[in-house]
Amino acid sequence: MPRSRLFIILALLLVTLLFSLLSSHILQRAQEETFALFSPLFSSSAFVKKQLGGLGKHLMSLDQLDAEYQRLLLENKKLQAENDLLRGLEEENIKLRATLDYRERSAFRLLPATVLTRDHSAWWNTIKINRGSKDGIMPDMPVITDRGLVGKTTVVTDHLSMVMLVTDEECKVAVKVEGTREQGIESGLRASTGDLQLCFLDKLAELKPGQKVYTAGVSGGIFPSGIEVGTVKSFQARELDGQAILDPAADLNNLEDLFVIVGAK
């Protein structure tokens, strides 16, 4: 046998003998050190796995998310409806207080009334109110709001009355223009869109848009002096007189609560 091969065989036998002589205590120590070296990696992996598992428990499915969205949407609509209701009650309260305040300050005895129905046509305009002769109403009594003249009563029954509005061409009111000596007769316009006309003015009258027009309170008339009728929109000279177009003071398109003048305080 060659000497080199014999040397290799002896070296292998020596190594085998050394491994066999290592005690179990030394092997266990080596395993512990190896485990200690890699334990942070094992711990991090377990922690991440635990956190991901806990997160999964709190995640919602698409159906659950949609159901929650619908619930929140319904809740939002409910809150919006409640806010709208409260806003409407607040506006109604403010309106009622202003109306009561006007009634207290008025120089007239005012009977409150409510509009039941109204009728429009190209030739006449009327409304029906919930007051009649049993409440002291008679024909030709002025009807007003806190903003101005509405019209006058016409047909009266025990518990109902018809009111001819100032926009009717048959409702004629003696009026005066503020800041001037101009007086004339106000009436509705035939085929009007809600404007009033003031006729029998001086042809040279210097009326300007924005001037207020009030009842003149002529002797024998049914309308007392000082009730606002409207505001001048335009003026033109005609062949025999001057004519002004007025914007009504009262909101005739949204009449709800009004007053009938039944006398003076």
- pLDDT tens-place string over residues 178-204: 999 999 999 998 766 789 999 999 999
pLDDT score at 116: 92
Q: Which tens digits make up the pLDDT trace of 55-113?
A: 555 556 777 888 888 888 888 877 777 777 777 666 666 666 666 666 676 778 899 99
Domain ranges (residues) in the chain: 60-105, 108-264
The CATH class of 108-264 is: mainly beta
- Scored b (16 or more CB within 10 A) or e, 144-171 reads bbbebbbbbbbebeeebbbbbbbbbbeb
pLDDT above 60 for 24: no
Q: Which tens digits make up the pLDDT trace of 97-155?
A: 666 666 676 778 899 999 998 776 645 688 999 999 999 999 999 999 989 999 999 99
pTM as predicted: 0.63
Phi and psi at residue 35, to the nearest 5° = -65, -40
